[in-house]
Structure 1
C-alpha cells in the first residue's frame, strides 16, 4: 500500500507537522517531578524514528492533583528546553499535555481529590471535595501558567486533558457533576470550566503556540455523550480557542475501552468517536490500536481523522515511521496489544516498558542504537527456540556473532506458540513471527526438530552456550503429596493448559473446571478457549480475586464482564482437596461438578542440559523459564540481556 497520506504535512495552529503520525499524551513515570535524561532519551528515540507529533508526558498543573510529573513552577522549563534541543534537529513537533486528575488522584499532601461534586474516586474509593468557585478559578490560572511555561520551554503546543474521567471530564459528565450553580446542569454549564481554562490559556500564550484539547465520551450510561462533546467542540472551534482535537473514548468505568488490548480490532474506537468529531474543520487526531502505518493510511484515506495516534506502536518500535518509509514495514517490531509493559508498568508505579521491546523506558542506557559491537566475533549456540532463545539469537546476530539455534520442536515459539492458539490471544503470534523473520534475515542457523544433548552442543565447538529450554508445569502440591486424588488427576478428564488449548478433540463434555494456581494470563487463555468451544466453565483459584497479575494491564474488567455474560462461576480463596471422576471437592467441602478439569500450575525449570554442560562449558548461560519461571516479557528481556552480556565480555575458551 502506498503511504502517500501518512507522509503529507499538516498545519496545526501555525505549526507544520511533517507527517500524520502522532503519539497522543501518555505518562511514562520516567521522571519524578520534572524532566530528566531518561524522559528526554525516551522521546528522542521516537523523534529519530520519524514520528511527526508527540504530545508528551501528562503533567499536573496544580498541587491538588499529584502525579509523577508536575508543571507547577518554572523548574520544569530547563527540562523542556533540553528536550527541544534534543528532538528539534529530527523534525518531530512536541506538544505538552496539561492535566488535573480531579478525584482520580489525591493532592500532594494526601488531601482528598478535587472534583465537580463530592463523589468518591472510582479508582481508590477515597472521598472527593466538591470545588468552590474560588478553587475553580485557581485551577484555571494554573492551567494558563503551565501553558506559558511550555512556551518558555520552546515547545510547539499544549493539549488540555479533558478526557478519561479526569477533572475537566468530571465537570463534563453528569455522572460526576451534580452541581446546581453555573458549572452544573446543561452541557453549556458543564463545559464552562473547560472553556474558562482555554480562554485563560489563549490570554497567556495568544497564538504563539498551538492549543488543543483531548476529549472522550463516557463508557458508562448517563455520562458525557458524543453529542455533548460535539456541541462543546463546535463551540470551542467557533471561538478559536482550540487548534485541534484529540478524540478518545472511555473513562475509569471501563479502562479497557480507552486502551484496547489484543482482543480489540484496529480502529476500534472509530464507531464511538465519529459523532464527537462530526463536521469539525480543525484537525482531528484519532486513536484505537493502530499498529502499522498501513492501518493509519487506511484511516486517513477514509477521512476518519487527520492524524493517527500510535502510542503503543512507538513503544514497541521507536523506528516504525522510518522503517516503513524506507519500505521495510516487515522489520517493524509489532505491538501485540498485551498492555503488560506499558499500561502494566504504569499501574504498578514502576516505569513504562514493553513486552516486545525490552529497551522501552531504558533508552538512555540500552537503546538498540548503542548495542555493543564486539571486537571478537564468537560462535554462539542457543538451545531453545522460545521468546528468550529467539531474542538472544536475534541480538547476537545483530552484533555480528555466528549464531546456531537448536529447537526440539518442529516449530519455533516454545510455550508462546501454544498461547497464540488460544481464543483472544492470537496477536502473540505477531511477535513470534517477527522474531523468526528477523533471525532468518540476520543469518541465524536455525535447526528445528533438533533435540540437543550435551554431546550435540559440544560437537559444535561453541565459544558461548545459552540454554533457554523453558519449564514444565508442576502437578498441584496436593497431587504430588500423594493424596487419594493422585491417580484421578492423571486420568483423561484432567488435562494441562497445553492440552486444553491444542487438542479441541480432548475437551470433552459440556462443563469444565479451570483451577488457576498462577494468577496470570494462562488460565484466562484456557477459559476463553473453552468458552469459545461452548463449554460452561467454573473458574477456581486460591487467590482472593481472579487472575491478580492481569489486573495491572487494563484487561481484567473486560474479561470479567465477558465472563459474567457467559455465566462463568468464580470461586475464589479455595483449593481443590480431593477429586473423584467428575466431582472436585474444595478445602471447604464444596463439591464442583465438571466433565473435565484444567489445572494451571506453577512451573519447574528444564535445566538438565545446563547441569550436564556445567563442567565442560565455561561460558554457559541459563535464561528464560529454564532459569526462573516468568512470562513472555521477562523471557524477551532475558534474551536481550544475555546478548548484551555476550557482546560486552571477552571470549572464554571452552573446557573439555
Structure 2
C-alpha cells in the first residue's frame, strides 16, 4: 500500500486555501555558464566543494523549550546535504537561555547539548556537506513569553513585532554573554562544526548594539560608531581567540536595517573591514531587522537578489569571500552572481526547502524541473514564528522527511477529479509510483492560480503553476476535459476528489442584483471596475481584492463584521498589506454588519454607503458534493479544501 502521508495533504490543503499572496514578478535572467558556481573555494583553511551553502533559515524543528537536536531536524538537513550543497547552516544557535528567539530553536548553552549537535554534524558530514554553527543572542528580539526570562538589549526599547519588555543590559550581563559566546564556540568545535559564524545581523543583540535605532546608551557602549561597535567586536575577538585557528570564523551582517534611524551600508562596510583585520575569514550578507522584517525574510513583494549590489561593492573592497543571500530564486541568477564576480558564494534558504535538488538540477541544466520557492512565507517562517516546524507550500514533504517517503512501485489505477494544485500534486505523486493516473478537469489546469496571481505583486505565483503543469507533462498524465457526474463510471481502484471550494454567498437581502459580484470572478477574469466599490469581507481574499481594485483607481470601502481585518496574514507581509491599503485610500469599516444591499447602496449597522459595485469576499466552503455518491461505489479520498486522505 502507498501512503500519502498526512503532512503532504495538510500542506496541499493549506496551499489550496492560501490563494492570496503578494509579490513582484520574477526577472528573466539570462542563462549563465554556471561553471564557476561549481568550483571549490576556501574560507580560511576550510575548502568548500562549490559556491553554494544553505542559509541559516529557522526551521522550528529543535526540541520545544530545550533547543535539543531532534531526529526530525537531522533528517531535514540530511536530505539537503546529499544534493550538492557545500555547507549547511542549520539555523541560529542560541548561546544563552534568555537569548533564544523561538521555542523550537537550536541551543548550545549547556554541555549536555553538545552530543546532539555532534549527531547532527556527523549526519550531515556523512551526506557530503560541511556544517557551520551560527551563534547568536536574540537580544530585544527575544520574548519573555518564550524564555520565561527578561530579554536583554543595549537599551530598553521594545521590539516592534513582539511588543516585549527588554531590560537594558548591564556590564556584568555583557561579560556573562560574551563568555557564553566563547563557550558555545568551543562546544561547536567539539561537536565537529567546520566553521563558526557570529550573528551580527537582523537586529539581534550584537547588531542592536551597533545601530542607533536600538542603542540609546550614554555609557562607553553608546553614541559614536566606535562606541557602538565596541561590544560586538569584543565578543567577536573573544570567539576568534577561543577557536585559535582551529576553524574559520565568519560574521553575518545586515547591509541595511531599512529603518529610518538604523544602520546603513557605509557603517556596515567599516564593520566588515574591522572584522577582517581581526581575523574573520568571510562575510555573509543579509538585510533588515524585526522592525523591517520583510527585508530579513523577504516575501513576494521584495525584488529577487536585492542584496547583490551591496555584495558586489563590498567584494571590490575586501579580499575575503563574500556570501550573498536573499531571494536568490532563479537558476540563472544564482549562476550569474558567482560567474560575474558579484559575490563569491550564494546562500540559499527557502529555495532549498522548496526543492532540495535545486543545485543538482542547476548543475545538469535541468532548469525546467526546478520547483521554485514562491516566497509566500506561509509554510516556512510564519509557522516557525508560531512555534511550529517549517513546512512548504510547494513541497509537501519538507519538514516531514522522516515520515513522508515514496514507497515501492504500484500498479494501481487512480482517477483524480479536479486539477487544482492539490489535484495536480496528487496526480504527480501517484505517477511517480508508477500508477496509471487519469485526471478529469472541466476547465483548464491550475484551479484558482489565475485568480490568485491577479492582484498587484503576485505574478510569480504562476511559477508554481508552471512547475505543476510541466510535471504533469513530464509524467505523461492523461487529462480528460469533462465535468464529472455522480453516476459516471471509472476504471479505477481509487478516486481522489480534488474539486476545491467555492465562494460563500451570505444570506443578505439584495445580494442577487447584477452590480453585486463575487471576488473570485473579478480576479479570475481580471475585470476592470471603476467608481465606488464596497468589498464585503476583510480576510485574505477581501484585502487582496481591495488592492487589485485600488490599483485600478477605484474608491474602495472594505466592510468586515469582526474588529480586525487580514486575519491569517503573516508577520513578513501584514505591514505591507496595510501600507498598500493606505496607499490606495481604502476606507476600512470593522465591527459592521451588512443589513441589506439596496439599489447601489449598502446598508450597514451604523451607516449607508452609496456604491457602483458590491464585491462579496465572505470566505469559501468545500465543493464536495460528489464525495458521498462516489463513495458508494469506489474507494474515494479527498484532498485540498475537502481534506481527508489516509492511504490507497
Q: Which residue of 1 aligns with 2:8?
A: none
Query: 1:193 aligned to 207, 227, 231, which one?
Result: 231
Pick aligned residue for 1:386 from 415, 420, 424: 420
**Contact 1:218/1:250 (8 A) holds in 2:** yes
Distance 1:226 1:110 in 2: 35
CA contact (8 A) 2:155 2:215 kept: yes
Quick one: distance in 1 between partners of 2:432 and 2:188?
Answer: 40
Which residue, out of 613, 618, 622, partners 1:601?
A: 618
How far apart are residue 569 of structure 1 and its match? 2.1
What is the alpha-carbon distance in structure 2 between the residues aligned to residue 129 and residue 387 of structure 1?
Answer: 47
The superposition leaves residues 83-126 of structure 1 with CA deviations (integer Å, 9 ceiling, x where unpaired) of 22222233322111111111211357623210001212323322
Please name the residue that 1:438 is paired with: 471
- Larger RCO, structures 1/2 (Cα 8 Å, 6+ apart): 2
Given that 1:6 and 1:293 are in contact with CA atoms closer than 8 Å, whether structure 2 keeps it comes out as: no
Q: Which residue of 1 aligns with 2:632?
A: 615
- Find 1:585's aligned residue among 572, 581, 603: 603
CA contact (8 A) 1:582 1:593 kept: yes
Deviation of 1:356 after TM superposition, in Å, equals: 0.6
Shift of 1:495: 0.8
Query: Is the 1:230–1:275 contact (alpha carbons within 8 Å) kept by the matching residues of 2?
Result: no
1:330 aligns with 2:368: yes
Deviations 1:506-532 (A, max 9, x none): x43323222225x23x22332222123
Q: Does 1:82 align with 2:99?
A: no
Post-superposition CA distance 1:618-639 (Å, at most 9, x none): x1112222x25xxxxxxxxx7x
| Runs (5+) with no aligned partner, structure 2 | 1-30
Match in the other structure for 2:128: 91
Q: Kindly indicate whether residue 334 of structure 2 is the aligned counterpart of residue 300 of structure 1.
A: no
> Counterparts of 1:282 and 1:260 in 2: how far apart (Å)?
26
**What SS class does the counterpart of residue 6 from structure 1 fall into?**
helix
Structure 2 equivalent of residue 482 of structure 1: none
Alpha carbons 1:10, 1:19 under 8 Å: kept: yes
Give the TM-score normalised by structure 1: 0.89
Are the aligned partners of 2:250 and 2:281 in contact in 1 as well (CA < 8 Å)? yes
CA contact (8 A) 2:448 2:524 kept: no
Distance 2:162 2:129 in 1: 37
Match of 2:451 in 1: 418
Give distance in 2, aligned partners of 1:447 and 1:423.
33
Aligned equivalents of 2:587, 2:170: Cα separation in 1? 46
Matching residue within 484, 492, 504 for 1:474? 504
> What value does the CA root-mean-square deviation take over the aligned residues?
1.9
The 1:387/1:504 distance shift into structure 2, 3 A limit, reads: closer
Residue 292 of structure 1 deviates from its aligned partner by 3.0
Equivalent in 57, 64, 88 of residue 26 of structure 1: 57
Distance (whole Å) between structure 1 residues aligned to residue 209 and residue 569 of structure 2 = 31
Q: Residue 272 of structure 2 aligns with which residue? A: 233
Aligned mates of 1:267, 1:342 — CA distance in 2: 20
Match of 1:650 in 2: none
Query: Structure 1 residue 260 and structure 2 residue 317: aligned?
Result: no
Q: Distance in 1 between matches of 2:471 and 2:557?
A: 41
| 1:372-383 correspondence runs (5 A) | 372-374=407-409, 376-383=410-417
1:407 is aligned to 2:446: no
Instruction: Please list, as runs of the form range in 1=range in 2, the aligned pairs for 1:485-524 lying within 5 A after superposition.
Output: 485-486=509-510, 489-505=511-527, 507-516=528-537, 519-520=539-540, 522-524=541-543
Matched, 1:117 2:133: no
d(CA) in 1 for partners of 2:612, 2:562: 24
User: Could you tell me which residue of structure 1 aligns to residue 406 of structure 2?
Assistant: 371
SS at match of 1:364: coil
Question: Equivalent residue of 1:592, what SS?
Answer: strand
Runs of 4+ that moved beyond 6 A: none
Instruction: For residue 48 of structure 1, report the CA deviation from its aligned partner.
Output: 1.1
Following TM superposition, by how much is the alpha carbon of 1:129 offset from its aligned partner in structure 2, in angstroms?
Answer: 1.0
Rounded to whole Å, the distance in 2 between the matches of 1:503 and 1:178 is 53
CA shift in 2, pair 1:581/1:384, >3 Å: same
Give the Å deviation of 1:541: 1.9
Deviation at 1:31, TM superposition (A): 1.1
TM-score of the pair, normalised by structure 2 = 0.90
Post-superposition Cα deviations, 1:548-587, rounded to whole Å, max 9, x if no partner, equal 10134x1111121222222222222323222223322222
Q: Distance in 2 between matches of 1:403 and 1:27?
A: 37
SS where residue 290 of structure 2 aligns? coil
Alignment partner, residue 594 of structure 2:
576
**Which residue does 1:247 correspond to in 2?**
285
SS in 2 for 1:56: coil
In structure 1, runs of 5+ residues without a counterpart are 480-484, 629-637, 647-656
| Equivalent in the alignment of 2:27 | none
Query: Contact 2:37–2:339 (CA<8 Å) still a contact in 1?
Result: no
- Residues 383 and 566 from structure 1, CA distance in 2 versus in 1: closer, same or farther, beyond 3 angstroms? same
Instruction: Please say which of residues 16-25 and 571-580 is displaced more in the overlay.
Output: 571-580
Change (3 A) 1:287 1:377: same
Does the residue aligned with 1:336 lie in a helix, a strand or coil? coil
Give the corresponding residue for 1:653.
none
Match of 2:193 in 1: 155
Separation (CA, whole Å) in 2 of partners of 1:139 and 1:120: 20
Q: Is 1:229–1:276's contact at 8 Å kept on the other side of the alignment?
A: no
CA distance in 1, matches of 2:206, 2:314: 17
2:355 to 311, 314, 317: 317
Distance 1:122 1:421 in 2: 31
What is the Cα deviation at residue 378 of structure 1?
0.8
Contact 1:170 1:177 in 2 (8 A): yes
Query: Which residues in structure 2 correspond to 1:352-363 (within 5 Å)?
Result: 352-363=390-401
1:555 to 573, 581, 600: 573
**Alpha-carbon distance, 1:278 to partner:** 5.7
- SS for the counterpart of 1:327 is coil
Q: 2:495 aligns with which of 459, 465, 470?
A: 465
SS state at 2:286 partner? strand
Aligned-residue offset at 1:37: 0.7
